[in-house]
């Protein structure tokens, strides 16, 4: 907000010339035009016995008749006087001529005026609403100054000045003006928030970086208030805001895709992918996974990341989506948006055992194969088997080795599975029978014909980017031994082998390397070096260009960063030289005074300006008339909640079974019953009643 807009803003009431006399009789914001017996009694009650006079140098006291070249300079003078005197001020009422020129302007102590009476009946059920406590500090202080327009000139003079206060004055460091945050400090709070650092911890961090709390002017409550004010400015507009922001990216960023869907003016689905994610999918999109277990936002919308594996065996995102619910229709829309963006289907899609996802993948990705996540299946196993079996290290080791082996042929797997089930008496266990029935949808050996299928065996890459599962082949020491046949044509440098490791992983196996070394082949044949594993698969000359939507803001950000860098560089040079450090500090003070000489304080507003919020967040706050898309209602979907996964009945029962029960006073045993529900006590009471 500009300096002039602060003075002339519609936030302050304006009065006609005919109302001027009434204004002069009431110096309190919201005061009535005439005094009353009630008001007189009110102020007699709140005005204290002692009065306080600011301790300010005589030359800074604004005497009556003192003339200023503009109203801005006059108001600035009183702000500086109040800062030295130990009190805060605020702009109050004003009157205007017919030509809209301000005739008189009131600037009052921040503790002036009176609090509005609020009725509150905690027992009442109708007519009166309970209201939260107000933190207003108004106690009727009459300290103020009135500036009057000098007719025929642009000047203003002091018309009236009352310097006595009815409350103790404060330290300069405790005033609101001293606690006002700079833009860089507001930016620090917002960036900390995006890194999951709350306002309290952000204040501690700022104090630590500055060398102590005495070097951080704003208090913790100021940090909290900033977050509150930002949320108030955003309010219900965030759905429209994110759609506007994404549309702006699509319009200004090269090769940026964004799709969204809304029903009944409520945001339902979103999908987006930038230039880099499209390039990753083009090179590494044969095998992808997606998992809808993220729900850590305010509206509990489902975040769905699509993940692939790059040439460093690292997880890369190839697209992202938001869903308001996990219905078949929502998943179908999401996969169609994915297909529209990338233009081709993946070869293999890895998901969890969600029935809706399975149905949608088969309907939308008709040419893709669908496989279940091994990690989810192995995690669920502990809920399906007994504690004794799950804690059996021999069984767990052998079972894991059996299901994770990517080199094991299906016929060998089926024989080994049957032997393992028989050894541990699991032939009739329902979960093992069901998983064996769908073995072709989760056992890696059944997907050996799909290139690169061995790279990704779990959707945990979507859940935890750092968790990677890599299977290293070793010969089995059980009832069976894996034997691999390797054939090589030295001249043609052609290799044939039975383990099909190259088809699954995209690299030659150790058997092939052993034979090549024995035959004197010193270089890997080019046909066995896939483009996806080369360093230059994405050229280093290719730059993902991000063009800022506002070149002016981009230039300002660059200048600010350059200024910070120059300041810190100068400080590093003179830090250990007291003489040069003193000279540097003096020059900084001179430069500060030079810029402050023509700077008018925007006032002591308690709320965050919408324009500042836009700059802090890098978004545009839509006006109410432009809001056509609203936020969805908070829903309880499948999968994880705000902090953890929503447990099913089986998981709850399993967790409860591990808890130690309290002593039942009915039977004296540690059981999940109590005196009222104890079967032995209830049975005894029933027998006694029947007899």
Please, which residues bridge with residue 270 across strands?
A: 260, 322
**Alpha carbons 528 and 513: distance in angstroms, whole number:** 12
Phi-psi group of 453: left, alpha or beta (phi > 0 → left; psi -120 to 50 → alpha; rest → beta): alpha
Residue 141, token pair as written in the block: 């202080």
Please, which residues bridge with residue 60 across strands?
A: none
Arithmetic mean of pLDDT, 593-621: 66
pLDDT confidence bin for 28, thresholds 50/70/90: very low
Position 42 pLDDT exceeds 50: no
Q: Where is mean pLDDT largest: 7-21, 129-143, 671-685?
A: 671-685
Look up the pTM and report it: 0.61
- Compare 144 and 43 and report the one with higher pLDDT: 144
Over the stretch 536-558, which tens digit does the pLDDT of each residue have?
A: 777 655 555 544 444 446 677 77
Neighbours of 48 (CB within 10 A): 13
Q: Residue 98 has what pLDDT? A: 82
Residue 672, token pair as written in the block: 């999940």
Strands 14-15, 302-309: parallel, antiparallel or unpaired by DSSP?
Answer: unpaired
Position 507 pLDDT exceeds 90: no
Arithmetic mean of pLDDT, 337-347: 93
Average pLDDT, the chain: 76
Q: Return the percentage of the chain with pLDDT > 90, whole number.
A: 18
pLDDT confidence bin for 364, thresholds 50/70/90: very high
Arithmetic mean of pLDDT, 289-314: 80
- Compare 314 and 143 and report the one with higher pLDDT: 143
Position 470 pLDDT exceeds 70: no
Position 32 pLDDT exceeds 90: no
Q: Residue 134 has what pLDDT? A: 56
pLDDT confidence bin for 608, thresholds 50/70/90: low
- Compare 371 and 16 and report the one with higher pLDDT: 371
Q: Residue 635 has what pLDDT? A: 61
Whether the Cβ atoms of residue 611 and residue 232 lie closer than 8 Å to each other: no
Q: In terms of Cα–Cα distance, which of 26, 549, 483 is closest to 252?
A: 549
Arithmetic mean of pLDDT, 91-115: 88
Position 31 pLDDT exceeds 70: no
HSE (CB half, 13 Å, CA atoms) of 263?
A: 9
**Alpha carbons 367 and 348: distance in angstroms, whole number:** 9
Position 105 pLDDT exceeds 70: yes
Arithmetic mean of pLDDT, 458-483: 45
DSSP assignment, residue 133? P
Q: In terms of Cα–Cα distance, which of 171, 174, 169 is closest to 52?
A: 169
Position 67 pLDDT exceeds 80: yes
pLDDT confidence bin for 276, thresholds 50/70/90: confident
Strands 89-96, 14-15: parallel, antiparallel or unpaired by DSSP?
Answer: parallel
Q: Residue 204 has what pLDDT? A: 93
Query: What DSSP letter does each residue of 47-84 carry, written as one string?
Result: S-S--B-----GGGS--TT-EESSHHHHHHHHHHHHHH
**Residue 109, H or E segment:** strand 102-109
Position 234 pLDDT exceeds 90: no
Q: At what angle do helices 551-574 and 578-596 cross, to 10 degrees?
A: 150
pLDDT confidence bin for 338, thresholds 50/70/90: very high
Instruction: Give the three-state DSSP class for 494.
Output: strand
Residue with token string 């004055």:
169
Q: Residue 417 has what pLDDT? A: 93
């Amino acid at each position: 907000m500009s300096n002039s807009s602060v003075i002339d803003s519609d936030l302050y009431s304006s009065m006609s010339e005919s109302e001027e006399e009434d204004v002069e009789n009431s110096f309190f914001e919201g005061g009535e035009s005439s005094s009353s017996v009630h008001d007189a009694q009110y102020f007699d009650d709140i005005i204290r016995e002692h009065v306080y006079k600011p301790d300010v140098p005589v030359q800074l006291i604004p005497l009556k008749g003192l003339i200023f070249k503009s109203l801005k300079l006059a108001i600035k003078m009183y702000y500086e006087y109040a800062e030295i005197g130990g009190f805060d001020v605020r702009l109050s009422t004003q009157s205007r001529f017919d030509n809209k020129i301000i005739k008189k302007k009131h600037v009052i102590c921040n503790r002036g005026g009176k609090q509005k009476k609020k009725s509150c009946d905690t027992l009442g059920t109708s007519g009166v609403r309970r209201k939260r406590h107000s933190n207003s500090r108004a106690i009727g202080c009459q300290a103020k100054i009135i500036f009057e327009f000098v007719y025929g000139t642009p000047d203003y003079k002091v018309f009236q000045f009352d310097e006595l206060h009815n409350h103790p004055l404060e330290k300069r460091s405790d005033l609101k003006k001293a606690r006002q945050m700079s833009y860089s400090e507001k930016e620090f709070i917002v960036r900390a928030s995006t890194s999951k650092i709350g306002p309290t911890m952000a204040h501690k961090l700022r104090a630590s970086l500055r060398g102590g709390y005495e070097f951080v002017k704003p208090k913790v409550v100021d940090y909290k208030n900033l977050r509150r004010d930002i949320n108030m400015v955003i309010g219900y507009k965030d759905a429209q805001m994110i759609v506007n922001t994404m549309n702006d990216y699509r319009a200004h960023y090269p090769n940026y895709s964004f799709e969204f869907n809304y029903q009944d003016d409520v945001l339902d689905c979103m999908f987006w992918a930038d230039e880099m994610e499209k390039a990753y999918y083009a090179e590494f999109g044969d095998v992808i996974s997606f998992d809808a277990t993220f729900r850590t936002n305010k509206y509990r919308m489902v975040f769905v990341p699509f993940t692939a594996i790059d040439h460093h065996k690292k997880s890369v995102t190839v697209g992202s989506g938001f869903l308001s619910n996990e219905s078949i229709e929502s998943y179908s829309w999401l996969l169609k948006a994915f297909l529209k963006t990338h233009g081709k289907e993946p070869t293999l899609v890895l998901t969890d055992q969600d029935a809706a996802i399975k149905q949608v993948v088969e309907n939308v990705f008709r040419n893709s194969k669908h496989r279940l996540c091994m990690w989810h299946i192995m995690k669920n196993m502990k809920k399906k088997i007994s504690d004794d079996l799950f804690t059996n290290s021999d069984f767990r080791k052998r079972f894991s080795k059996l299901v994770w082996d990517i080199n094991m042929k299906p016929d060998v797997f089926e024989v080994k599975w049957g032997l393992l089930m028989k050894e541990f008496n699991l032939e009739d266990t329902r979960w093992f029978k069901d998983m064996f029935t769908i073995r072709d949808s989760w056992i890696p050996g059944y997907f050996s014909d799909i290139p690169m299928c061995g790279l990704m065996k779990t959707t945990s890459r979507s859940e935890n980017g750092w968790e990677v599962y890599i299977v290293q082949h070793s010969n089995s020491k059980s009832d069976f031994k894996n034997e691999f046949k390797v054939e090589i044509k030295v001249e043609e440098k052609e290799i044939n082998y039975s383990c099909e490791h190259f088809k699954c992983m995209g690299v030659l196996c150790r058997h092939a390397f052993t034979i090549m070394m024995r035959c004197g082949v010193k270089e890997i044949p080019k046909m066995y070096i896939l483009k996806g594993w080369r360093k230059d698969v994405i050229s280093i000359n290719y730059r993902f260009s991000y063009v800022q939507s506002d070149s002016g803001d981009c230039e300002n950000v660059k200048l600010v960063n350059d200024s910070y860098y120059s300041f810190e560089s100068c400080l590093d040079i003179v830090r250990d030289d007291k003489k040069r450090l003193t000279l540097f500090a003096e020059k900084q003070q001179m430069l500060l005074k030079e810029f402050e000489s023509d700077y008018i304080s925007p006032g002591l507003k308690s709320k965050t300006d919408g324009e500042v919020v836009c700059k802090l967040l890098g978004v545009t706050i839509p006006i109410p008339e432009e809001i056509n898309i609203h936020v969805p209602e908070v829903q309880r979907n499948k999968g994880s909640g705000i902090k953890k996964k929503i447990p099913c009945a089986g998981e709850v029962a399993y967790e409860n079974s591990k808890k130690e029960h309290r002593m039942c006073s009915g039977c004296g045993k540690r059981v999940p019953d109590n005196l009222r529900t104890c079967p032995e006590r209830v049975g005894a009471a029933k027998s006694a009643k029947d007899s």
